[in-house]
């Protein structure tokens, strides 16, 4: 499938369908969910109704993308003849919505992730990992059609795409930030995207309680193994004290990723008493291997797992693992 044909082929399927759902991966982010908003908005502009099927997550953080949207959390009685999945190509990442996709007559997958395991069976599949976000794929697909919309409609679509870029490039700093990303960003600005507002509303949109939580977490930083490993944690009590839900905002690791001289970062977040969610970050050592030892996974440089027990014990155990990994470099 060529990107030039993606929009027309998709719109043919939309034309034939009576009930259209749009969905994305579980623990959705500012790429998958906001790309779903963009697609739903485009369909609405051309007179087609669709429903975004969420995993029940809180979408309050997208308050600044003000257009009305139709979102319902998944329930087993959801049934649609066309399901469009964005930012995800594997049944493993759909959570309970596997049935929604399996029971649809027609399935479309639009994604920019490398195909790993258990790929979604689809009538139309467009997967291209050279795009920085799935929103960027949508923009490339619909660019020719946007001039038919009003300028306010074009701007809303462009703002959504811009948020997907902010999300997946982490504000234009990740390794995927290339010429193509900046060229796309320039096109989006031409549609009237207010980049300063979007940055503030999306990237810096923390409540005071969330900032206190992050600050208190950063205050726990300790360096071990010759200052090569950074450990920090957020206790369950802190989440209660700051009255926040740490799963709904960007985690504190982003503030320490540039700390000098580090071989690895481990962040311990206590989501329930004694239940720790660990996040690993590294530039050299393979932290995916360590996470998978405890039933987790991810990538070489960013991975995670869950362990229950006492923080002191867990820290000791992980420091040993990391020490070995560093020795093996």
- How many residues touch Mn ion under the rule CB under 5 A: the total is 4
31 is a site residue for Mn ion (CB under 5 A): yes
Kindly tell me which of 87 and 321 has the beta carbon lying closer to Mn ion: 87
Q: Pick from 87, 210, 270, 321: which binds Mn ion (CB under 5 A)?
A: 87
Kindly tell me which of 85 and 134 has the beta carbon lying closer to Mn ion: 134
Which residue minimizes CB distance to Mn ion?
A: 31
Rounded Cα–Cα distance for residues 130 and 145 (Å): 22
Taking the complex as a whole, the smallest distance from the CB of residue 167 to Mn ion amounts, in Å, to 7
| From 126-134, 233-241, 260-268, 296-304, span contacting Mn ion (CB under 5 A) | 126-134
Kindly tell me which of 78 and 181 has the beta carbon lying closer to Mn ion: 181
Kindly tell me which of 108 and 238 has the beta carbon lying closer to Mn ion: 108
Kindly tell me which of 10 and 163 has the beta carbon lying closer to Mn ion: 163
Taking the complex as a whole, the smallest distance from the CB of residue 87 to Mn ion amounts, in Å, to 4
Taking the complex as a whole, the smallest distance from the CB of residue 163 to Mn ion amounts, in Å, to 11
111 is a site residue for Mn ion (CB under 5 A): no
Contact map string, positions 133 to 172, toward Mn ion, x by CB under 5 A: -x---------------------------------x----
Taking the complex as a whole, the smallest distance from the CB of residue 170 to Mn ion amounts, in Å, to 12
Kindly tell me which of 126 and 213 has the beta carbon lying closer to Mn ion: 126
Write out the residues near Mn ion by the rule CB under 5 A. Answer: 31, 87, 134, 168
């Amino acid at each position: 499938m060529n990107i030039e044909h993606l929009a027309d082929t998709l719109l043919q399927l939309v034309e034939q369908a009576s009930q259209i759902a749009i969905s994305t991966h579980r623990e959705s982010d500012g790429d998958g969910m906001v790309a779903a908003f963009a697609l739903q908005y485009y369909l609405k502009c051309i007179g087609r109704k669709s429903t975004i099927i969420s995993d029940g997550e809180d979408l309050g953080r997208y308050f600044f993308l003000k257009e009305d949207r139709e979102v319902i959390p998944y329930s087993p009685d959801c049934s649609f003849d066309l399901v469009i999945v964005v930012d995800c190509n594997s049944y493993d990442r759909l959570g309970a919505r596997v049935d929604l996709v399996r029971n649809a007559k027609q399935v479309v997958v639009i994604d920019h992730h490398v195909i790993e395991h258990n790929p979604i069976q689809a009538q139309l599949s467009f997967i291209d990992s050279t795009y920085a976000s799935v929103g960027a794929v949508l923009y490339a697909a619909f660019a020719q059609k946007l001039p038919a919309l009003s300028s306010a409609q074009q701007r809303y679509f462009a703002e959504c795409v811009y948020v997907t870029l902010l999300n997946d490039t982490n504000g234009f700093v990740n390794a995927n930030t290339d010429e193509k990303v900046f060229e796309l960003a320039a096109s989006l600005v031409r549609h009237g995207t207010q980049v300063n507002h979007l940055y503030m509303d999306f990237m810096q949109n923390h409540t005071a309680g969330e900032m206190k939580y992050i600050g208190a977490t950063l205050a726990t930083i300790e360096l071990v193994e010759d200052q090569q490993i950074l450990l920090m944690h957020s206790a369950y009590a802190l989440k209660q004290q700051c009255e926040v839900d740490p799963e709904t905002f960007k985690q504190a690791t982003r503030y320490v990723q540039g700390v000098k001289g580090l071989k690895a970062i481990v962040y311990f977040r206590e989501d329930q008493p004694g239940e720790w969610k660990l996040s690993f970050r590294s530039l050299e050592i393979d932290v995916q291997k360590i996470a998978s030892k405890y039933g987790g996974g991810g990538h070489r440089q960013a991975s995670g797992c869950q362990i229950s027990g006492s923080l002191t014990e867990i820290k000791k155990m992980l420091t040993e693992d990391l020490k070995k990994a560093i020795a093996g470099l």
